[in-house]
Structure 1
Amino acid sequence: MRKYLKCLLLYGIGGLLYIAPELAWRGHSHWTMFVLGGICFVLIGAINEVIPWCMPIWKQTLIGTVLITSMEFLTGCIVNLWLGWGIWDYSEFPINVLGQICLLYILLWVPVALAAIVLDDWLRFWMFREARPHYCLIKHKRRCKTWI
């Protein structure tokens, strides 16, 4: 039960953090963005649950960026193309796929993914007494060179 509550709390934090920049920038968001943000945050948090801590942080960030981009594309295909809700359309942006993802936003997801990885790890440490986060810049045989 505690595991589900932890997941639900992290989901809620991720959802709120996902819509916050949109609310600040545009003054509005859509409820599906809260759902998407929560899912992305939980998935990114699972990176260190599945992959050893010794994986370099840049690789974790790349995985997180791919996760967010994939979820954005899937959600866009459902809510924009299939349901026709028109929540976003990146057709005007160069290098886009069906107007649901584009290169500019993929690049913007890189720092977001990094921040989500670090935030999730520290929240787990502070709130749930999980292992203290540590990160590797490079993997060298069995040892890591840490920077945090």
Structure 2
Amino acid sequence: MTGERQLKKVSEYLFLWALGGTIYYEFEMIFRGFSHWSMFVLGGICLCFIAWQGKMVHWRDALWRQMVRCVIFVAAGEFFTGIIVNKWLRLNVWDYSDQPMQLFGQICVPFLIIFSGLCVIGIFLSSFLLHILYGEEKPSFHIL
């Protein structure tokens, strides 16, 4: 890989990380009234994964399949971040203990449903931004 191409990839992922972090942080500020820097970091990592997985399949996998991959990644990221931030560091950023179908208060099914919608938005957003801003492959989506 040439130096120019490597720089382009770094630029793409830094852009996606900052955008994903900002969107998720602001999402929490609007709906919860507060957030934490760890949510910025996690939101950025999640948007980078969303773009990466789409690029790996050239945005041609069924949308539902991409969404499932992304939700699994987001759930794992939220769980491990929660274990570190909430349990080990005791920062108590969130607690889903009062939610149905939760695991150690770090993830729960109702929020995974919300995250699935955010993942679909992330798939569309990252694919079109990478195409428009960086000249990446034009996305082509289908439901099934």
TM (norm. structure 2) is 0.91
Local SS of the residue matching 1:130:
coil
The match for 1:128 among 120, 128, 134 is 134
Equivalent-residue separation in structure 2 for 1:53 and 1:120 (angstroms): 11
Q: What is residue 92 of structure 1 aligned with on the other side?
A: 98
- The 8 Å contact of residues 50 and 119 in structure 2, kept in 1 or not, is answered as yes
Partner of 2:79: 73
**Does structure 1 conserve the Cα–Cα contact (< 8 Å) formed by 2:58 and 2:137?**
no
The offset of 1:55, in angstroms, is: 1.2
Shift of 1:131: 1.5
In 2, Cα distance between the equivalents of 1:43 and 1:74? 16
SS of residue paired to 1:136: coil
- Do 2:85 and 2:93's aligned partners in 1 also have CA atoms closer than 8 Å? yes
3-state secondary structure, aligned to 1:137:
coil
What percent of counterpart residues are identical?
A: 34
| Correspondence 1:2-41 to 2 at 5 A | 2-41=8-47
User: 22-31 or 104-113, which moves further after superposition?
Assistant: 22-31
| Structure with greater helix percent | 2
Which one has the bigger strand percentage? Answer: 1
Q: How far off is 1:52 after superposition? A: 4.2
Structure 1 stretches of 4+ with a deviation exceeding 3 A read none
Q: Which residue of 2 aligns with 1:111?
A: 117
Q: 1:52–1:131: structure 2 CA closer, same or farther, 3 Å change rule?
A: closer
Distance in 2, matches of 1:75 and 1:128, equals 30
Distance in 2, Cα, partners of 1:64 & 1:108? 12
> Number of paired residues?
138
Q: Equivalent residue for 1:145?
A: none
SS in 1 for 2:24: helix
